[in-house]
Amino acid sequence: LRGERLGEISGEVLEFISSREADRWICEADLLVDRAHLVMLKERGLVSPQEFKEIVAGLEGIDEDSLGEGEDVHEAIEAELISKVGAVGGRMHTGRSRNDEVATCIRIVLREEVLGLLTEVNDLAKALVERAAENADTIIPGFTHLQHAQPTTLAHHLLAHADAIFRDFERLRDSYQRINRSPLGAAAFASTGFDIDRKRTAELLGFDGLVENSMDAVSTRDFLLEALSDSAILMANLSRLAEELILWSTSEFGYVELDDLFTSTSSIMPQKKNPDTAELVRGKTGSVFGSLVAALAICKALPMSYNRDLQEATPNLWRGISLTRGAVRIMAGSVSSAKFKTDRLEAASGAGFSTATELADSLVRITKIPFRTAHQIVGALAAKSETPTVRDLDEAAERIAGMRPSERGFGEDELAAALDPEENVAMRSRTGGPAPAETRRMAVDRKKRIEENERLIVEMRGRVDRALSSLREMR
């Protein structure tokens, strides 16, 4: 490539500017891009059918391991091709540049990664929804500020995590539409005077359309920033789930036992069963954020159009996306195999006077006092004890509101009902609430969504696979 223009490049400089390590990700994609470009060049009469045959035959058998030196995979493939088929191989680069080539390659690999991630995210949602469906009647403590707040159900809790994961799915699916567009044919940035057909190469490579403006096409990496942002948000959601698994598996909580497979022991303390995988999900979340911030910082303030800085963004994409995919798979396995200690959860569900809200609500419904008054009465009780009697209630109400609930139909039975965690949950049957009937409805709805998502992925993948397998047949 450098020829007589620049002369040889030295070892350390070559190493400095090389993208060969990260280019392992795109080598196969680059060979597909070469092939699609050649098919189009032949169809437009820019290479002859004979030249096409020779060049494509030369591409066969080239892979990462057969390549020699070169500052990037594109250069190395071309050099290898020319060494195999001679000067005719030099026709392959007609009407294109490494700038549109690399952007195309990254999009091809990223779309595969996103399709894989979508499947994994949907599988995680499925694991959460399935565990939720088993636990519609499992009463557990609900927290705010990590203090006992109100009783809820395990189904409600797990469905809350699932809904966050569904939104991650939607974000990735939405980004996919912008990832799966072809920059090919933009050449260096100014397109080309050769009579190429960009729509044809886009179609051959299974893209859903073009990144039309040729200057935009080679210079933008916003599609990659978007995938990393989606990944970072997904990891933020996963880290919340991970944190709870860690906390819930302590002996202080004792709400869950993780399957042995997802835990480690200590090299010194033989009794230990540590939640290492969940901790690493929490830790890797930081690394994914790092990948996003690195890529953003690299792309920031770059003038039009291609700048070599862009090469530095790409490894962050591969790192961020593979960390995310690994974490999603691990969480799906952890959730599916976790043993929830339902007895302990149920026993804890009334702890910390978590039924106080319902006690105040019941006072309002039965005695017709305003909610704020009831809140004050119950607050006064809570300051003294977690298990108030009707007498305590009457005393506090008398003092605060000049009335006695027992004289307005609020007796032992009403108090017992208000203090029963199961009753608390059963009453909260409004849309999205924890009542068993409502979480069962949500679980059924979410299961349908999981199936729809599965169909969607098959359709998206089918479009790509059909295009690529016919492209691979073209000789």
Cα–Cα distance measured from residue 208 to residue 107, given in angstroms and rounded to the nearest whole number? 12
The label of the residue with tokens 């073209």 reads 474
Structure tokens at 196: 């190429």
Residue 390: CB atoms within 10 A of its CB come to 17
Which is nearer to ligand ARG, 308 or 455 (by Cβ)? 308
From the list 231, 311, 349, 439, which residue makes contact with ligand ARG (rule: CB under 6 A)? 311
Least distance from ligand ARG to the Cβ atom of residue 29, Å? 12
Cα–Cα distance measured from residue 299 to residue 309, given in angstroms and rounded to the nearest whole number? 8
Least distance from ligand ARG to the Cβ atom of residue 192, Å? 15
Cα–Cα distance measured from residue 325 to residue 337, given in angstroms and rounded to the nearest whole number? 19
Binding range to ligand ARG, per CB under 6 A, among 94-102, 237-245, 280-288, 349-357: 94-102
156 is catalytic: no
The label of the residue with tokens 């006092």 reads 369
51: Cβ–Cβ under 8 A, 6 or more apart, which residues? 42, 88, 91
- Binding residues for ligand ARG, rule CB under 6 A, total 10
From the list 314, 316, 376, 439, which residue makes contact with ligand ARG (rule: CB under 6 A)? 314
Cα–Cα distance measured from residue 424 to residue 151, given in angstroms and rounded to the nearest whole number? 7
397: Cβ–Cβ under 8 A, 6 or more apart, which residues? 363, 369, 377, 403, 404, 405
Binding range to ligand ARG, per CB under 6 A, among 98-106, 386-394, 401-409, 451-459: 98-106
Cα–Cα distance measured from residue 69 to residue 47, given in angstroms and rounded to the nearest whole number? 27
Q: Where are the alpha helices (DSSP H) in 195-275?
A: 198-204, 214-219, 222-248
From the list 99, 122, 201, 291, which residue makes contact with ligand ARG (rule: CB under 6 A)? 99
470 is catalytic: no
Contact 101, 75 (CB under 8 A): no
Contact 259, 338 (CB under 8 A): yes
Vertex 255: Cα angle to 252 and 260 (nearest 5)? 100
From the list 232, 310, 363, 397, which residue makes contact with ligand ARG (rule: CB under 6 A)? 310
From the list 37, 96, 98, 375, which residue makes contact with ligand ARG (rule: CB under 6 A)? 98
Catalytic residue among 266, 385, 469, 470: 266
**What mask, x for binding ligand ARG by CB under 6 A, covers residues 66 to 85?**
------x-------------
**Under rule CB under 6 A, residue 102 binds ligand ARG:** yes
Least distance from ligand ARG to the Cβ atom of residue 205, Å? 18
Binding range to ligand ARG, per CB under 6 A, among 43-51, 144-152, 305-313, 341-349: 305-313
**Under rule CB under 6 A, residue 308 binds ligand ARG:** yes
**Under rule CB under 6 A, residue 19 binds ligand ARG:** yes
Least distance from ligand ARG to the Cβ atom of residue 19, Å? 4
Binding range to ligand ARG, per CB under 6 A, among 29-37, 177-185, 308-316, 465-473: 308-316
Contact 419, 362 (CB under 8 A): no
Binding range to ligand ARG, per CB under 6 A, among 59-67, 140-148, 304-312, 444-452: 304-312
Catalytic (active-site) positions = 145, 266
Return residues touching ligand ARG (CB under 6 A).
19, 72, 98-99, 102, 306, 308, 310-311, 314
